[in-house]
Structure 1
Amino acid sequence: MNEGFSWATGWFVSLIFAPLPGTSFPWIVLWLVTGATIFTLYFGFIQFRAIKHSISLVKGDYADPQDAGEVSHFQALATALSGTVGLGNIAGVAVAVGIGGPGATFWMILAGLMGMASKFTECTLGVKYRNEYPDGTVSGGPMYYISKGFKEKGIPGGKPLAALFAVFCILGSFGGGNMFQANQAHAQISSIVGSYPGWITGVIFALIVFAVIVGGIKSIARVTEKVVPFMGVLYVTAALIIILMNIDKVGWAFEQIFVGAFTGLGIAGGLVGALIQGFKRAAFSNEAGVGSAAIAHSAVRTKEPITEGLVSLLEPFIDTVVICTMTALVIIITGQLTSDPATGLYLVGDNGHIITADGSSGVALTSAAFASALSWFPYVLAVAVVLFAFSTMISWSYYGLKAWTYLFGEGKNTELVFKLLFCVFVVIGAAANLGPVIDFSDAAIFAMAVVNIIGLYFLMSLVKDDLHSYLTRLKSGEIKRFKH
């Protein structure tokens, strides 16, 4: 049984993350980046044209509390951000810069900027095709816009494709959105307080998570709108302190980023290595094109789907362009990264450890970079990791729940079964050596992107029509700021 599962897991993981022939570039990353590029061009660089209006929407300038939906624009953004801002911003960036060199940061920023258009497309569709129920609750996401949108356009295969997305989403929520987070949180806590059984962390996390998710998206949103800004400000403030302490090196750091992005600095740190690692980090961090965020954004109070698309495009900017770049700058300016002239491999700190592609040195590198200037930072990092893990779990519980109810039907009992199962997996994740289970669940999350982007290609013309209508009415004054 175990051998069969291991074989199936290995096959699925290798299928999703297989490199393009003759390169080490995973085809799934190319799939995401290509989609982001197409949406950027198709919508006329909407992420740059509309960013001012996006901020106004988040502030609530156009919000009507009488509109259908469960949460505000800001709460929807915070919930979706809590699912993406996480350990990838700490460990993943370190791995990208460690393997690809400082130049990876440039490609990471570029991919993040393009990913804003993917988020805009999927989150607009999420609201456009959501189900609204008499009790005021809503359900939305790729499951709904693929099945309903394909039917509206007369395209066959919508329901099977939507069901496949839902299956992948459930698997991803139990693994990468749950067990991995609990596992890493326990590892970080035990590194500070000493070794102790993981199930203790698991039970504590499970009880807190259940207390939040049992109240549904409104309860989740109330927590994330407080936790996400706090953990973001905490982490970015620490990074800014170090950057200001080394202000004389900032110009040099950006020079390293731009030079490294376009020149070959050894085997692993050359143009190809930097590009691959930068694009991978952006794709894995902000999940633009995966479709997960569209589920959270579907719950927003609005009658204009385009408004939530415009709000959502801020996510990759905050997650990748701001937070991931902060991490990369700290690593570069603190001198924790050095290159071996003989091999071109980037080494970590004075010990000369090679940064590993599996991320095992990722948190250690980020922690060492911060600790070199702030001796107390490992404690802040422990708090950040716990908050990141917790916020990711509660967001992914909602993603998995909506996929679950799409397959098995709406209802209190159906929802309770999923929520209890989710909390059981929290305990398992903190206590177990996950191995292939996590690899499988990570692959499931990116399998969501395969299905989702196919749907976006078929439906993006509908988004373009809605965008033209909205911007025309906004310019004419038909859409007005709401007086609170």
Structure 2
Amino acid sequence: MFLSLQNQSLDEQIDTQFGNATEWFTDAILAQIPITESVGLPWVLIVLILGATYFTSYFKLINFREFFTAIRVAKGNYDNLESGGLVSVSNMVSTIDGDQPDTIRVEGKVEGEVSHFQALTAAVSATVGLGNIAGVAIALSIGGPGATFWMVLAGLLGMSSKFVECTLGVKYREVDENGTIYGGPMYYLKKGLKEKGFDKLGKVLAILFAIMCIGGSFGGGNMFQANQAFKLFEYVTGGEASFLSGQGWLFGLVMAIAVGVVIIGGIKKIAKVTDKVVPVMVVVYILAVLTILGINFSKIPSAFAAIWDGAFSPEGIGGGFVGVLIQGFKRAAFSNEAGIGSSSIAHSAVKTSYPASEGLVALLEPFIDTVLVCTMTALVLIITGSVDTSVVLSNEEGVILTATALESGISWFPYLLSVAVILFAFSSMISWSYYGYQSWSYLFGRKKSTAYTYKIIFCIFTIIGSAATLNAVVDFSDAMVFAMMVPNMIGLFLLRKKVLEELKKYKDLIKGKL
């Protein structure tokens, strides 16, 4: 074995060692329930979809009823109502300098680190990523145009799950003596379940989530992003003839340095970057897509017809519904991460006294990510004739197919896409580094030394991700993200009534009853 490693390039050695180290874990987590001879459904996906459907029903279609309220909150229309607002205080938490963390932020002013818009962009930067580009192409290669219908449906349902977890993230967050926010599933699992009388269960679930979130930050939030960015960059600079061919580690090193410069500053620095980068990268990508749609405007009605017809064909239902969930939502942490719990970490840092206000803002994420961006990508692929269901794309081919579809409209669009992809990857990585660090600090403490240790390891995994083959990276990433869902969904179900109370409180505030 040692001699064989000596004969491999650095990229190949990294890939071999990484694949061997993670194979047993991915096999255990990604166990599938067979649907057809060739298609299997990971059991955890069933939990995600059933959970999203249940929350949509329990909160009486909140994803539709409160959609425009969510937009107004994100715009800051109700910020003047925050003064003097109250946050339910748990008597189960420890004190900081003799005060309860929950009360520190509402004494004299509304505490928090970022605005509603910044919290949204920080979270969207992690969700709107390469799953919207590569994942959609792969999903359509399996399910045909009809896959788009099921993708949108799953995104709409996911809005309800996102509302629940982000409301809880704010409700049970903690604030240290410096005003730094700590929140996410680790805290609402531990504190919330203790209030329900499940003290030991809450502690175990919180620890499990934190471990898996750290792994997810290294995998789907880091290695996958760096890997896809390198693959497209290599493609547009000449493919195998590129000066970086076989030198993924070098690309990863540059990305690691860029990421490291940002993440040292914490959520405030991250938010300042994402509230500028996210709008730019989304606008760049959407303008490119809209240009193609504009050139082929007459074909749009037939594309929608193909989506509708294909959604209810055997190919669309088997390959589309299952294929999208497996091949589409698995990309970049299930595309919108609804039910995973990760986004609630970013939303916890918002400046608000009413947890439900941020839960409402958060439900916009799956809409932006899946309903808008993924649908636009799908339309371009369908209109340009890039969808070929006779050939199932590999992970590497997904992003390249989208680049080819854009190239059919304007020859230099792949270069524009490569810039957008690098920005997508960069923003996702810095946001996921925050998620991972929050989990790391929950397990190992909030000292500066532990923070720097995590951030150094995170940057090392950026280099590994660029060098490893995508299949190894994707399997590891999927397994970690799937695993995060298990403790999180248990907590969301058990704490759903707390969320309902917070929603009523905030709606009463808007109506002038408080």
Same fold, TM-score > 0.5, yes or no: yes
Partner of 1:171: 215
CA distance in 1, matches of 2:18, 2:77: 52
Q: Deviations over 1:29-64 (max 9, x none)?
A: 211111110110000111111111111111112225
Q: Deviations over 1:268-297 (max 9, x none)?
A: x24222211233424611110001100000
Q: Deviations over 1:136-195 (max 9, x none)?
A: 111000000000001011014110110010000111111221122222222222223323
Aligned partner of 2:235 among 183, 191, 194: 191
- Asked if 1:59 is matched to 2:81, the reply is no
Q: Do 1:104 and 1:275's aligned partners in 2 also have CA atoms closer than 8 Å?
A: yes
Amino acid aligned to 1:118: S
- Secondary structure of the residue that 1:31 maps to in structure 2? helix
Q: Which moved more, 1:368-377 or 1:209-218?
A: 368-377
Partner of 2:395: 359
- Secondary structure of the residue that 1:360 maps to in structure 2? helix
Cα 1:463–1:430 change in 2 (3 A) is: same
CA distance in 2, matches of 1:454, 1:431: 36
Partner of 1:154: 197
CA distance in 1, matches of 2:372, 2:379: 11
Partner of 1:14: 27
Aligned partner of 2:226 among 182, 205, 225: 182
The gaps in structure 2 that reach 5 residues or longer are 3-15, 84-108
In the comparison of the two structures, how many residue pairs are matched?
Answer: 460
Cα 1:382–1:405 change in 2 (3 A) is: same
Amino acid aligned to 2:403: S
Partner of 1:371: 407
How much does 1:419 deviate?
A: 1.1
CA distance in 2, matches of 1:188, 1:279: 24
How much does 1:92 deviate?
A: 0.3
Aligned partner of 2:322 among 271, 276, 279: 276
Partner of 1:441: 477
CA distance in 2, matches of 1:5, 1:253: 41
Cα 1:140–1:109 change in 2 (3 A) is: same
CA distance in 2, matches of 1:15, 1:104: 28
Cα 1:35–1:393 change in 2 (3 A) is: same
TM-score norm. by structure 1 comes to 0.91
Q: Do 1:169 and 1:445's aligned partners in 2 also have CA atoms closer than 8 Å?
A: yes
- Secondary structure of the residue that 1:75 maps to in structure 2? helix
CA distance in 2, matches of 1:112, 1:282: 9
- Asked if 1:459 is matched to 2:495, the reply is yes
Aligned partner of 1:417 among 453, 457, 469: 453
How much does 1:363 deviate?
A: 1.4
- Asked if 1:205 is matched to 2:205, the reply is no
Q: Do 1:33 and 1:279's aligned partners in 2 also have CA atoms closer than 8 Å?
A: no
The gaps in structure 1 that reach 5 residues or longer are 339-345, 348-353, 479-484
- Asked if 1:397 is matched to 2:413, the reply is no
Q: Do 2:232 and 2:399's aligned partners in 1 also have CA atoms closer than 8 Å?
A: no
Q: Do 1:105 and 1:257's aligned partners in 2 also have CA atoms closer than 8 Å?
A: yes
CA distance in 2, matches of 1:433, 1:253: 34
Trace 1:234-253 onto structure 2 (pairs within 5 A): 234-253=284-303
How much does 1:4 deviate?
A: 11
Cα 1:434–1:244 change in 2 (3 A) is: closer
How much does 1:198 deviate?
A: 2.5
Aligned partner of 1:93 among 130, 136, 146: 136
**RMSD, matched Cα:** 2.0
Q: Do 1:112 and 1:282's aligned partners in 2 also have CA atoms closer than 8 Å?
A: no
Q: Deviations over 1:311-349 (max 9, x none)?
A: 0000000000000000000011112224xxxxxxx14xx
TM-score norm. by structure 2 comes to 0.86
How much does 1:300 deviate?
A: 0.5
CA distance in 2, matches of 1:271, 1:422: 39
